[in-house]
Structure 1
Amino acid sequence: MNDPIDRNDLYETTEAHVERLLGRALNSFDLPDALVERLGSALAHASSLHASHHSPALHRATYRHTYLLADGTSLTLWELVHHTGPDGRDHHELYADESEVRLAAARLAAAPGFPEAVGLADPLDDDLDADLELLSALLVRPPAPAPRTYVPDDSADHARRVLRRAENADRPGEEVAARLRGAFAHHIQQVFGRQCSVAGKDAGFSLYEHAFLLLDGSEMSVWEVEHTATPDGRHMCEVYEDERAARAAMELRARVRR
């Protein structure tokens, strides 16, 4: 694999380096605009090999690019370079977070057609199980608090529809449904959303809190998981009484191999 760190041009300016990095990345358009704008003030940079994996079916390497910005802060980009077979062409991907590049590397190892790539990681690299454990850690990360504004808008009927569309066997029962029939206002908030790979297939996960204000002045919430980690890729809704159970369900779905 060609090293994307151009050692033949020791005098490459940081501006040229940034342009080269963004220009060859297949997913540069996914980077946040604010991050790309910050890169425009980079004064110096350093690049290093972070991890690598080589097998007959798959070659991949992860590089860390760190930039010193004009405001005195630093910024790091993670580059994944990979190709398949002895004559494969290099493909470059950029990520703003180490966890994202590790998950991308795990997806390559789990892709159909490359069974020999799984489990042959270089000592510098993490194996697929470690990357799935990282996904689990992301799923249980507590959400940032957000202001809650209750809206009186047929809230009891909204609660009924949320419970009705739940497909999980352990969805809230009649006791919860009875309490929610006394709801007169509600608030919906998405607390998690992510695309990932499950058994080599793309799947989306979203977690919503449906909070209700009841006639007796109390509050209660149910937690709705929407995902496409189903055998046929269809959209599925599950509802749980507490956040911990909902996040555990997402973690389980993310680990199941179809």
Structure 2
Amino acid sequence: MEKRDVLFISDRTGLTAESYGKSLLSQFPGIEFESRLYPFVDSKERAREVAREINHIVEETGKQPIVVSTLVESESQRVIANSKGCIVDLFGVFIEPLEECLGVESSHKQGISFDPHSHELYQKKIKAIEYALKHDDGCDLANYDDADVILVGVSRSGKTPTSLFLAMNFSLKTANYPLTSDDLEGHKLPSFLLPHTRKMVALTIRPATLSNIRQQRRPSTEYASLQTCQRELRIADTMFKNANIPVFDTTDTSIEEIAGWIVREKRLRDVTELGIGH
């Protein structure tokens, strides 16, 4: 399989560049991408350092690295653009058409989403992240009343990363609960979850994929066997159906897509409960 270096460059954390860049690169499954993150490239000097690294990769491998940039400051972006990399300027792609359409120049200000007016939203996000960490993997069950979303599913079905993504990107207080062997043997949700079914979203996954994931954690165990995974998922799916809980299959699906589906499902449910459109 062909390999290619990818650099995600930003004047902030780089999460946006990495997220959008990986979504784009997922359209090229025949290439193995080796990624590097370069956050806080917030000066011409730092941009020159990164440009030298880009050029070094070209000299060393003979191939242009893919450079996904969300640099806002034009001087720094120009330094990167003049390197030997294949530049994907995410801001430039959208800013220039908007400037032309609106008839004004953009501010080209770094970190604009972190302006003081967004302090309240920032605090909400921090609280959501703290909540997700505190209520991961079935912890602190007594405080599920405060949850915006409760993810439920068998072990290793993608609940923890999805919880954190929802907290970090949508400021949703997200708890997650792994169905235990006792829950599955009883063929029904534990009683403490029943008052919260309207907040719940279930995650499922293909048995073979789940078995492969579990093998990495506990190889050659009954827990990781395909037969166990098939049985657990079959019982769990019946439980979700009986409780009328929406189910999303995480197999071969990006965390962004999973989270987006959950957010849409939650908004639809909220609108229905408010009686809007009836």
Q: Compare the two structures and name the one with the higher strand fraction.
A: 1
* TM value normalised by structure 1: 0.27
* TM value normalised by structure 2: 0.26
